[in-house]
Structure 1
Amino acid sequence: MTQNENSYPVVEAMKAGGGWNPLWDGLNEMDPEWTELYMKMAMQPYRSGVLSRKVIQLLCIAVDAAATHMYAPGTRRHIQAALDMGVTPQEILEVLKLCTVVGIHSCNLGVPILVEEMAAHERRQAAS
């Protein structure tokens, strides 16, 4: 099947609407059928009506801005969309502040290791 606008409507709609990430181009070229199916699944929250458009944009901001993702173009696109629909800068800032706690996990992991290694270092120093 060759890729054209009728074969992959979700991907084409994302491209036309500015929601396409150019990093997906290679995947789309290599397996357009799979990419279409994945994007159809990923767009379900937008189409289901279960969550409001505002909530979806705020969640997308949190995901894109989180330390584990840090995707600036998506963060910008979702902030613009949120502002355009009337979300306040204060609401967006609260989401950004909330998503920063994802980074606390590096302290949850690293600080106990640091404490253990400091104690081991002190023991080695005392033994020598």
Structure 2
Amino acid sequence: MNNLTERQKEMKEKFIQARGYWAEHWNDLLTLDEEFFGAFLNLSAVPWKKGSLDPKVKEFIYIAINASTTHLYEPGIQAHMQNAIKYGATPEEIMEVLELTSALGIHTCASGIPILMDELKNAGVELNLELTPKQKQLKEQFKKERGYWSELNEFLLVDDGFFEAYLAFSALPWKKGVLEPKIKEFIYIAIDVATTHLYEPGARMHIKNALKYGADKEELMEVLQLVSVLGIHTCTVGVPILKEVMKSNIIES
């Protein structure tokens, strides 16, 4: 464990008071650059001071952006699952966060199918752009089970069998109802606006949905603020490596 100065110990206590926890990887950042650590603390503490969202929900958002397939940061997943449980989260709630986050993979189709359709048209392939009776039924089922419809017609037209399987997969956490719809939308917003993804169509749609379910401006802004600190993982991953390199250089010299 690192030997902290008195000032660094004070900063550690401030972090614990503001964020409610401490992880060992913060020690390295604190000892290497306490001024930068202090600036990060001030930034990351802002949404915790306002309290628009329940602490448990804040931790759900952290779990989602850490567990997202665009990030998969295991230390963050573990720390924020522990924090969520400390704030009263149940295994069922955390599992639902993971299930909601798992749907991110469908953005392969959300981004790729419109390009595919354009290129098929450019290649002179004739496309039937009218929904079949089955496809119309699937569209209505999606609207009923997911509560909205976006520009998914092309997805449905290309392969309604895959669309049907996706609907069954993505609708499961909505049928369970462990988390209220507004919180579900916060999870989708978080993984869409994270710097590891930045998927504007999804962010826009799910902000719209969250407003429909009763979210207010302060809550939505707090979601964005919570997700904005994701960049600190550059340091939580990079600083321990730097420490090891420094030790190696000392030994070699």
Instruction: Select the residue among 143, 147, 150 that pairs with 1:18.
Output: 150
Cα deviation, residue 70, structure 1: 1.8
Opposite residue 81 of structure 1, the aligned amino acid is N
Q: Match of 1:61? A: 189
Provide the aligned C-alpha RMSD in A.
3.4
Cα deviation, residue 9, structure 1: 4.1
Q: TM-score, normalised by structure 1?
A: 0.66
Q: TM-score, normalised by structure 2?
A: 0.38
Q: Match of 1:98? A: 226
| Whole-angstrom distance in 2 between the partners of 1:92 and 1:18 | 20
| Whole-angstrom distance in 2 between the partners of 1:72 and 1:8 | 27
| Whole-angstrom distance in 2 between the partners of 1:90 and 1:40 | 33
Question: Do the aligned partners of 2:135 and 2:160 also contact (CA within 8 Å) in 1?
Answer: no
Opposite residue 179 of structure 2, the aligned amino acid is L
| Whole-angstrom distance in 1 between the partners of 2:169 and 2:250 | 54
Q: Match of 1:72? A: 200
Unaligned runs of 5+ in 1: none
Unaligned runs of 5+ in 2: 1-130
Q: In structure 2, do the counterparts of structure 1 residues 116 and 94 end up closer, same or farther at CA, with 3 Å as the change threshold?
A: same
Instruction: Select the residue among 134, 149, 169 that pairs with 1:41.
Output: 169
Q: Which moved more, 1:110-119 or 1:74-83?
A: 110-119
Cα deviation, residue 17, structure 1: 1.7
Percent sequence identity is 36
Question: Do the aligned partners of 1:60 and 1:75 also contact (CA within 8 Å) in 2?
Answer: yes
Q: In structure 2, do the counterparts of structure 1 residues 64 and 5 end up closer, same or farther at CA, with 3 Å as the change threshold?
A: farther
Opposite residue 83 of structure 1, the aligned amino acid is L
Q: Secondary structure at the match of 2:134?
A: coil
Q: Deviations over 1:60-91 (max 9, x none)?
A: 11121123322111111111222233311111
Instruction: Select the residue among 172, 178, 187 that pairs with 1:50.
Output: 178
| Whole-angstrom distance in 1 between the partners of 2:187 and 2:153 | 17
Opposite residue 181 of structure 2, the aligned amino acid is R
Question: Do the aligned partners of 2:182 and 2:210 also contact (CA within 8 Å) in 1?
Answer: yes
Question: Do the aligned partners of 1:61 and 1:79 also contact (CA within 8 Å) in 2?
Answer: yes
| Whole-angstrom distance in 2 between the partners of 1:101 and 1:109 | 14
| Whole-angstrom distance in 2 between the partners of 1:79 and 1:43 | 18
Q: In structure 2, do the counterparts of structure 1 residues 43 and 103 end up closer, same or farther at CA, with 3 Å as the change threshold?
A: farther
